Amino acid sequence: MPISPDSRLLVTGGAGFLGSHVVKVLRERGYRQIVVPRSREYNLVDRDAVARLYHDATPQVVIHLAAKVGGIGANQAAPGELLYANLMMGVQMIDEGRRSGVDKFVAIGTICAYPKLTPVPFREQDLWNGYPEETNAAYGLAKKLLLVQAHAYRQQYGFKTIYLLPVNLYGPGDNTDPHTSHVIPALIRKCVEANARGEQTITVWGDGSPTREFLYVEDAAEAIVLAMERYNDPDPVNIGSGQELSIQALVTLIAELTGFRGQIVWDTTKPNGQPRRCLETSLAKQVFGFEARMPLRQGLERTIAWYRRSLADRGQTPVSVSPVHSG
């Protein structure tokens, strides 16, 4: 059945960072029946709760964004928890979707699924050419298995699943918790906080040499909705900006934009994570017309402004947090 504004859509994780932006794009495009389940009502790790969700929502299309995520520190501290939660959520959502007769399932993978030493830029065909970087392998493999399940279910049951591989996301609404946040929100919080407290140093994990690629969350949301509407093939598709940046250069840029003029201390006793990350993104443009639009500097300026507004809205002042990692 063709997707239309009358289609019933289920967006897991739709109240979260990426999900809220996806729901916003869907509403702007005229979709009227969007179900956003909350974890307090539907624990997607529990099979019965997943079955109940499908019974209650009766979706025709599922966008599965719900995930348990974190940076290098979180991945090192709880790899088993991250593997189990993400694997069980994804496997059960796909299986119950198939049993419920869903027309289309959009699965979101992760750049962490790529092998540690993938040639740059990462091409979709390189996905199986090695083991992921050790610090986030459990999470990456849990999400990667959903691609295997998607292929198996398409072959045996004719169940239509598409699989997208986004890079590191950032933007307004991001998670700034010092224990679970990724590098951009962690750096922004650290620099803003240091300024407020008059501190002259911030500490960052690693040596600054790894490279990363970053995608503004609104661009990512646009890509997901375009893929839902236009893409139907089994092959995975990279979602990114195609721009590679070292962590050292990122730290320098965020320090400049936040007005932090102190010293950057590199804690080389901590892991760097994957040496390089940058995607080949031409397939997304070719098959569903997506190209990233937000320049990194402008996106960071918007994210910093959002963070400062969020502090002011809550009447809060920055407090001391942990050193920033490069995940």
Catalytic residues: 139
Q: What 8-state DSSP symbol labels residue 279?
A: B
Which among 91, 94, 88 is positioned nearest to 106, based on CA atoms?
Answer: 94
213, 241 contact by CB (below 8 A): yes
**Taking the CB of residue 314, how many other CB atoms lie within 10 A of it?**
8
Alpha helices in the chain (DSSP H): 17-28, 47-57, 72-77, 79-100, 137-157, 183-197, 217-230, 247-258, 282-288, 296-313
Ordered strands of the 161-166 beta sheet = 33-35, 8-12, 61-64, 104-108, 161-166, 237-239
Nearest to 77 by CA among 135, 14, 23: 135
